[in-house]
Structure 1
Amino acid sequence: MVRTIRFHELGGPEVLRYEELPVRSPGPGEVRMRVDAFGLNRAEVNFRRGTYIDDPVLPAGLGYEASGEILELGPDVDRWAVGDAVSVVPAFSQNDYPVYAEEAIAPAAALVARPDGMDAVTGAAIWMPYVTVYGALQEVVRVRPGDHVVITAATNSVGMAAIQVVRHLGAIPIATTRTAAKHDALREAGAASVIATDTEDLTDAILAATGGQGAQVAFDAVAGPQVEQLARAMAPNGTIIVHGNLSGQPTPFPGNRFGPVWMRRYTLFEVTKDPAGLRRAEHFVRAGLATGAFAPVIDRVFDFDDIAAAHIYVDSDERRLGKPVVRVRRTEQGA
């Protein structure tokens, strides 16, 4: 029996429960793993509310990304061995393989090896952000040296990874955030320009940052009506990649009054559910980590017993920069 976090009804953080549940043996193509840490995302908050891209099957578990150690192999798993330190990348429904638990079943196809010397907390924080960015900026479009890339909601884990990836590719990151409070932190993180959308006109600020030429790519986590402001600030044949909907509003398609602009909805599943794409992403991320071009930013680390507080934080304006993570403390360790 292991402690697992589930919810039996849709709602706020108060619906989350700790339950003692058995862990089944892994089936074909699966592993059973000890979970040492797991990453926190708005995807889990929305899943708990019933506002995510798939609906929870109640009672439902949670979680997409985790790091830990393989405890048992299912049939037909030949790449991995018991004792391997691994991370889980989102490549499945949370209904099928939730990882908010002391132990979890995970599909072997969704595992990547944790780099030598990397701790579990960092191992739970790296793959979703960097793979998301890799897929958008190398598989969907090919960002080129000198391109201006607008990164909206740049303070979250994907935004911080995007700043690093854009710089690694020789391009110029333009970060947006709601207020000027995190301006200096984003500049220190590598943004060439920072735009505070509460006080600056987004279109004018992007055009000013690009010398009037417009941006080649916008990597947009906000969506909603703001895409029309982005469209006005794009270079001819620029691309807007919408990968989130933090605005919570309908997203219009820019009409004929805008210049020639490509607009594309994107999710990281396009990469993680494609074995060849995931392997390319893994090599890309490992290369960036090895050279020091990529340095994961951990926002805050929560204890396993504080999951409600962790969900409140993920959904709040108090967040700082980077990825919130939960460190799992297993009962058998007496923690």
Structure 2
Amino acid sequence: MSNIPTTMTAIDPAAAGGPEVLVPVSRPVPQPGPGEVLVRVAAAGVNRPDVLQRLGLYPMPPGTPTIMGLEIAGEIVAVGADTPRWQVGDKVCALVAGGGYAEYCVAPGGQCLPVPAGLSFADAAGLPETYFTVWSNLFQRGAAKAGESVLVHGGTSGIGVTAILLAKAFGLTVIVTAGSDEKCASALALGADHAINYKTQDFAAEVATLTAGRGVDIVLDMVGGDYIPKNIASLADDGRHVSIAFQRGPRAEVDFTAVMRKRLVITGSMLRPRPVAFKAAVAAELEARVWPLFAQTRLRAVTDCVLPLAQAADAHRRMEAGTHVGKIVLSTD
């Protein structure tokens, strides 16, 4: 590591607060331990959990770097012991538990994936968090399969865009909700079969109409709160409700009569606290089943904007404004 500097620029807020706390600071360059690699970060994705962490509302797992950022892309510049797959010079994108908003970041080797053919570092940096999340929840927990239908809330968010692209690539019918006619149009342009403006339409009533009263097989929910009873009403017999976030709160009052009558499964998960072995297994499935679809142009990156690392505050403001379509990315170039 002789050609690697000892310090780097990073976004490591000293206290919780508004976007203004996201200012560049100098931090030591981390060193990879066994099973880890050190990546010279070219770009880092911005995600809603980053906003919650900045506000002090997202407790970090023990041992997680206080530097923000959950996904990166760049070039490996050092490898720790017991990391046989990766070599210095490999171009990767990676899911990390923290540390992404920086010029260098350590990543578990098992959570790294090669940058898909034809994608820039900026585009690749926006893949890991949403692809790991959607694959593990919609396809593993939700058991999605070709011919089924899924309702996805937040259709133009990073998760929503990924869910549209993945679900369509694997033969599902996709219904999304979004907060404006413009966002609904964007979701349809990305491949959604139907888009519902939740501000002007009752999404449960619209789902019933679109499915001739049958309902959807899966709901991928990031809203929670009062959406959950309406999600349950929107599910078909033997449907699956998969929760991945709760922007309207973690509590809901549910009449379990419908759950029992329709034989529903209610499940959910959080990705960040899961062990490296689990995330590595997801990475292996993604590389085998999903990554080839980029080369076949059946999948593509949808990047809303790329901002310099020093403008992390502006990136968070855009995230909070909710005007983005796809991923917001920070660049170290």
Q: Is the pair's TM-score, using the shorter chain for normalization, greater than 0.5?
A: yes
Equivalent residue runs for 1:178-327 within 5 Å: 178-248=179-249, 250-256=251-257, 259-260=261-262, 261-269=264-272, 273-274=277-278, 275-319=280-324, 321-327=325-331
Q: 1:149 to 1:169 in 2, by over 3 A?
A: same
Q: Which whole-Å CA distance do the structure 2 matches of 1:70 and 1:251 have between them? A: 45
Query: Which TM-score applies when normalising by structure 1?
Result: 0.90
Q: How many residues align?
A: 323
Identity, in percent, stands at: 28
Shift of residue 246, structure 1, vs aligned partner:
2.0
Structure 1: state its 5+ residue gaps.
330-335
Q: Which whole-Å CA distance do the structure 2 matches of 1:238 and 1:12 have between them? A: 39
Instruction: Answer yes or no: is the 8 Å Cα contact 2:110–2:283 preserved in 1.
Output: no
Matched letter for residue 212 of structure 2: G
Q: Which residue of 1 aligns with 2:26?
A: 20
Q: Any idea what the Cα deviations from partners look like across 1:75-102, whole Å, max 9, x if unmatched?
A: 2221111111111114x3x2xxx11111
Instruction: Answer yes or no: is the 8 Å Cα contact 2:305–2:329 preserved in 1.
Output: yes
Shift of residue 69, structure 1, vs aligned partner:
0.6
Matched letter for residue 60 of structure 2: D
Q: Which whole-Å CA distance do the structure 2 matches of 1:272 and 1:291 have between them? A: 29
Q: Does the residue aligned with 1:68 lie in a helix, a strand or coil?
A: strand
Q: Which whole-Å CA distance do the structure 2 matches of 1:126 and 1:59 have between them? A: 21
Q: Which whole-Å CA distance do the structure 2 matches of 1:42 and 1:207 have between them? A: 30
Q: Which whole-Å CA distance do the structure 1 matches of 2:258 and 2:70 have between them? A: 40
Instruction: Answer yes or no: is the 8 Å Cα contact 1:129–1:161 preserved in 2.
Output: yes
Q: 1:273 to 1:207 in 2, by over 3 A?
A: farther
Q: Any idea what the Cα deviations from partners look like across 1:95-146, whole Å, max 9, x if unmatched?
A: xxx1111112222222111124421101101222222222223211322332
Between 264-273 and 242-251, the greater mean CA deviation after superposition: 264-273
Equivalent residue runs for 1:86-125 within 5 Å: 86-90=92-96, 92=97, 94=98, 98-125=99-126
Q: Does the residue aligned with 2:291 lie in a helix, a strand or coil?
A: helix
Structure 2: state its 5+ residue gaps.
1-6
Q: 1:22 to 1:279 in 2, by over 3 A?
A: same
Shift of residue 22, structure 1, vs aligned partner:
2.1
Shift of residue 263, structure 1, vs aligned partner:
1.1
Q: Any idea what the Cα deviations from partners look like across 1:162-206, whole Å, max 9, x if unmatched?
A: 111211222110011123232222111111111111111121100
Instruction: Answer yes or no: is the 8 Å Cα contact 1:7–1:59 preserved in 2.
Output: no
Q: Any idea what the Cα deviations from partners look like across 1:305-335, whole Å, max 9, x if unmatched?
A: 211111111111322x100101112xxxxxx
Instruction: Answer yes or no: is the 8 Å Cα contact 1:47–1:55 preserved in 2.
Output: no
Between 244-253 and 31-40, the greater mean CA deviation after superposition: 244-253
Q: 1:106 to 1:59 in 2, by over 3 A?
A: closer
2:53 is aligned with 1:52: no
Q: Which residue of 1 aligns with 2:153?
A: 152
What is the RMSD computed on CA atoms of the aligned residues? 2.1
Q: Which whole-Å CA distance do the structure 1 matches of 2:281 and 2:110 have between them? A: 11
Q: Which residue of 1 aligns with 2:171?
A: 170
Q: Which residue of 2 aligns with 1:333?
A: none
Equivalent residue runs for 1:20-99 within 5 Å: 20-54=26-60, 60-90=66-96, 92=97, 94=98, 98-99=99-100
Instruction: Answer yes or no: is the 8 Å Cα contact 1:68–1:85 preserved in 2.
Output: yes
Between 99-108 and 243-252, the greater mean CA deviation after superposition: 243-252
